[in-house]
Amino acid sequence: MVEFKTASEVEAMRAAGQVVAQALKAAKERAAVGVSLAELDEAAATVIAEAGAKPAFLHYHPGFAPTPFPAVICASVNDVIVHGIPGGYRLRDGDVLGIDCGAYLDGWAGDSAITLIVGTPRPRDVELIEVAERALAAGIAAAVPGNRMGDIGHAIATTAEGYGLPPDFGGHGIGRRMHEDPAVPNRGRSGRGMVLRPGLTLAIEPMLVIGGDGRYYPAADGWALHSVSGQRAAHVEHTIAITDTLPRILTTL
């Protein structure tokens, strides 16, 4: 069932979204060559705890995973597309690092992801992240009243042309729960699907793989999704609210 939020509920989600943005900022600032992914997780966890919020990913246990998620952030390095568990791996020069974070504040969820390069960037990776960010912006720009769900996916996929888009994973409705209806696919046909209306709150999250092959396989831990091609991936996400006019991004600082 799709729930539409009132103006005051969107404000509450904005507050949750800000905590997520601050947690991502703390993890990003901590990211450097030689730093472990667990240290980034700790940085995000501290921000969330100090804000009086609750991590949304910790102990989250969706049907596809063999075990509950053991951390506050997902940290996905290089050929890991999404859902990497932040463990003892220490970042290396040139790594592409995706950080995804979710939190609940006063019963409302925020969900956002960034991808960055640690140390010396490779030009191909810079382009990957730029295109992913453009795809996210295009998807958000399509989230206006009167458009349909397919317009969001269409905007993402056309912007990300030439890159692999993993099937099965995409964005989602968000509100009192991190994952709500409706699904927000990263592909779509314009003019098709649910009509978008003010009060609809969505997490939009393109994930792109260099080289055009979006197929993935799960790591031994059952969580991290690696690209089959071995190519690097980027994942970026914002929680947004559809308004009477332009979409409002709830997970910026």
> In angstroms, what is the minimal distance from the CB of 123 to Mg ion?
27
Determine the Cα–Cα distance for residues 52 and 50; give it in Å rounded to an integer.
5
| Contact (Cβ atoms closer than 8 angstroms) between residue 184 and residue 136 | no
Give 102's strand partners: 111
Closest CB 93 distance from Mg ion, rounded Å: 26
Toward Mg ion, which CB reaches closer, 12 or 203? 203
Bridge partner residues of 98 (DSSP): 76, 115
120 versus 253: smaller Cβ distance to Mg ion: 253
Query: Which among 114, 175, 186 is positioned nearest to 150, based on CA atoms?
Result: 186
Closest distance of CB 19 from Mg ion, Å: 14
Binding site for Mg ion (CB under 5 A): 100, 111, 113, 203, 237
> For residue 39, what are its two tokens?
């240290």
Cα–Cα dist 77/174, whole Å: 26
Nearer to Mg ion, 65 or 94 (CB): 65
For residue 182, is the peptide bond before it cis, meaning its omega torsion is within 30 degrees of 0?
yes
Nearer to Mg ion, 82 or 191 (CB): 82
For Mg ion, the closer CB: 77 or 191 = 77
Task: Report in angstroms how near the CB of residue 237 gets to Mg ion at its nearest.
Answer: 5
Q: Give the ranges where the chain is alpha helix by DSSP (H).
A: 7-30, 37-50, 123-141, 149-159
CB of 113 to Mg ion, least distance (A): 5
